[in-house]
A and B are shown apart, each in its own frame.
Chain A
Amino acid sequence: MTSQVLLIEDEPNIIEAITFILSRDGWQVRSHAGGPDAMDVVRARRPDLIVLDVMLPGRSGFDLLAEIRRDPALAQTPVLMLTARGQRKDREMAERAGASMFMTKPFSNAEMLEAVRALAGAR
């Protein structure tokens, strides 16, 4: 069975590009725009890996991450955080909230692939 990535991101064209490159790499990619039901979707999908944008409309990605980490069934899922701000504060917050890896926009496709492969391998 192919591994599943859940991409939680509100920018449709980023979703499309990442979905494309990860699918070509053999991943099954699902996406979600980060609305209020994001956590329900995470629980329902039980993805192998989550790519999570920090700045979601109406909700902080950190919040969502904290909720994922609180859920025993999901706590071990690797989470790659994406942010448009490379500030140290964000990085620290991501680490505290339990992000497995942290990537600053704009990233290259190669970086994205490498990060996803590394996280999947470490699992």
Chain B
Amino acid sequence: MEGGTEPGTMTGTRIRERRLARGIAQGSLAGQVGISPSYLNLIEHNRRKIGGRILLRLAEALEVDPQELSHGSEAALLAALHEAAGEAAEAGNPDMVPAPDLDRIEEFAGRFPGWANLLAGTLRRAQAAARQVDALSDRLAHDPQLAASLHEVLSVVTAIRSTASILVETPALEPEWRARFHRNLGEDSQRLAEGAQRLVRYLDDGPGTGRDILSPQDELDRFLAAAEYRFPALEKAGDVDAALAAGDLRPGTGAHVLARAALETYGADAAALPQAHLLQAVARHGLAPLALAQDLDVPLPRLMRRLAAMPQEAVGPVGLISADAAGVIGTLKPLEGFAVTRLAGACPLWPLFRAAAQPATPLRQRIVQPGRGAQPVQAIAACEAAAPPSYNMPTLMRSYMLLLPDTAEAGDAAPMPVGTACRICPRPDCAARREPSVLAHAGDAQAPWF
């Protein structure tokens, strides 16, 4: 603390304040506490440091909490005041005439604790606001959706400005050109209106509405979970738009686009494998995905999607997870006892991520996650082409993993241990670990490349 007196000295100022406020004479207080009036005088003028028993006795005599008199609680305040003075000087604040008396900073804090705290609080709020501004301008610069929207609007504005000034400034513009530019203006103004609406809609969904914390995938999950992953209308060849309108997803948002794609797949699956057929086959075979797929002559991934869409009363709990070739989770219908999070990524040990390695071989495995409450589950994994094939282009695969409650049969191998997401996975000595766990006892399992 440069410029001030030694730390701890401010206590004296406060003792003096308290004493005067209570109308006690210096000699009288000194007598009560058992020190000489001249020593108390030195203390009160911050010329002697005190602590321990004398401080306690003074606090008792003045009927205040010793903490209130002692320096400890003030250190942060003094630091904040110094910071405020420093920041103002750094900013070259022209209002600083006269400049703050740095040498009287402790006296100020001691005599006007309320004002001092107010100043420190204002400083902290200003700093927080500055950080927020930084974060927001960072968002402006780095938010890809916002950047794309703005780019679109500015591009159209550029075209409109250029076209309009041609129309205004070119004398004797040929009729063909005139007509052409008029048409361009018409098109562009339409696009500008749409672009501006998209931008406003996006900004409307900004901070404060709760939507900003959700990715489109999260919103889709919410939408599907609210429907319990079932769309009775689509079971009866109903309209995707009608099913979509029943939710609260807003047209034009990323979540709306995802939901439409999910419902279109749902509709196509339901048309190819109606609920009644599937449930009849389940009555014959039980929940045996491969036998069902063969009996019903549908690809395993489609059968798995259909099982995940059946009423729970009919087939019991069924979970389903899908992933693209980059390992990013797409569909996510959770099964109790098996933890999945979009936020932290998945575990590469899941059969889901091995399905695409041998596309023609479906996998079936009992797996168990670590931790209390984790139940072994039956995982069946298979994959399908995510898009129609093109000549000489590698097939894009999408993998699915169906999760069923464990039904261990005699002779089944022990469930294979798998993880959740590394950050929240306590499994030690794991070759698949890609980042340290935040959980205790996992620290010994370092990422292999550390």
Chain A residues near B (Cβ < 8 Å): 11, 13-14, 16-18, 20-21, 24, 55, 84-85, 87, 89, 105-109, 112
* Among B141, B150, B157, B163, contact of A17 (Cβ-Cβ < 8 Å): B163
B residues less than 8 Å from A18 (CB atoms): 162
Cross-chain contact A105 with B155 (CB below 8 angstroms): yes
Q: Which of B5-13, B14-22, B180-188 contacts A (4 or more CB under 8 A)?
A: B180-188
Within the complex, the shortest CB–CB distance from A6 to chain B, in Å, comes to 18
B residues less than 8 Å from A16 (CB atoms): 163, 180-181, 184
B169 within 8 A of A: yes
* Among B151, B154, B169, B184, contact of A13 (Cβ-Cβ < 8 Å): B184
* Among B151, B155, B161, contact of A108 (Cβ-Cβ < 8 Å): B161
9 A-B pairs with CB atoms under 8 Å apart are A11-B159, A17-B159, A17-B166, A17-B181, A24-B170, A84-B154, A84-B158, A106-B158, A109-B165
A residues less than 8 Å from B150 (CB atoms): 84-85
Not counting A87-B141, A112-B162, a sample of 18 additional A-B residue pairs whose C-beta atoms are within 8 angstroms of each other reads A11-B158, A13-B184, A13-B188, A14-B155, A14-B158, A14-B159, A17-B162, A18-B162, A20-B166, A84-B158, A85-B147, A89-B141, A106-B154, A106-B158, A107-B158, A108-B161, A109-B166, A109-B169
B115 within 8 A of A: no
Cross-chain contact B151 with A85 (CB below 8 angstroms): yes
Question: How many Å lie between the Cα of A62 and that of B310 in the bound state?
Answer: 52
Question: How many Å lie between the Cα of A87 and that of B137 in the bound state?
Answer: 11
B177 within 8 A of A: yes
Question: How many Å lie between the Cα of A14 and that of B161 in the bound state?
Answer: 9
Q: Quick one: given A11-B159, A55-B151, are A21 and B184 in contact (CB under 8 Å)?
A: no
A residues less than 8 Å from B156 (CB atoms): 11
Within the complex, the shortest CB–CB distance from B165 to chain A, in Å, comes to 5
B residues less than 8 Å from A84 (CB atoms): 150-151, 154-155, 158
Interface of B: prevailing SS: helix
B residues less than 8 Å from A106 (CB atoms): 154, 157-158, 160-162
A residues less than 8 Å from B166 (CB atoms): 17, 20-21, 109
Query: What total of A-B pairs shows CB separation below 8 Å?
Result: 63
Within the complex, the shortest CB–CB distance from A78 to chain B, in Å, comes to 21
Question: How many Å lie between the Cα of A21 and that of B155 in the bound state?
Answer: 17
Question: How many Å lie between the Cα of A20 and that of B121 in the bound state?
Answer: 60
Query: Which 7 A-B pairs rank lowest in CB-CB distance, beginning with the nearest?
Result: A17-B162, A84-B154, A13-B159, A106-B158, A105-B158, A13-B184, A14-B159
Question: How many Å lie between the Cα of A19 and that of B180 in the bound state?
Answer: 13
Nearest residue (CB) in B for A109 is: B165
Cross-chain contact B159 with A108 (CB below 8 angstroms): no
Q: Quick one: given A13-B187, A84-B151, A85-B151, are A20 and B159 in contact (CB under 8 Å)?
A: no
Question: How many Å lie between the Cα of A18 and that of B163 in the bound state?
Answer: 9
Question: How many Å lie between the Cα of A14 and that of B184 in the bound state?
Answer: 10
Nearest residue (CB) in B for A104 is: B154
B residues less than 8 Å from A107 (CB atoms): 158, 161-162
Within the complex, the shortest CB–CB distance from B253 to chain A, in Å, comes to 23
Cross-chain contact B157 with A105 (CB below 8 angstroms): yes
Question: How many Å lie between the Cα of A32 and that of B160 in the bound state?
Answer: 20
Interface centre among A21, A24, A84 (most CB of B within 10 A): A84
Question: How many Å lie between the Cα of A33 and that of B163 in the bound state?
Answer: 18
Nearest residue (CB) in A for B165 is: A109
Within the complex, the shortest CB–CB distance from B261 to chain A, in Å, comes to 22
A residues less than 8 Å from B177 (CB atoms): 20
Question: How many Å lie between the Cα of A67 and that of B406 in the bound state?
Answer: 59
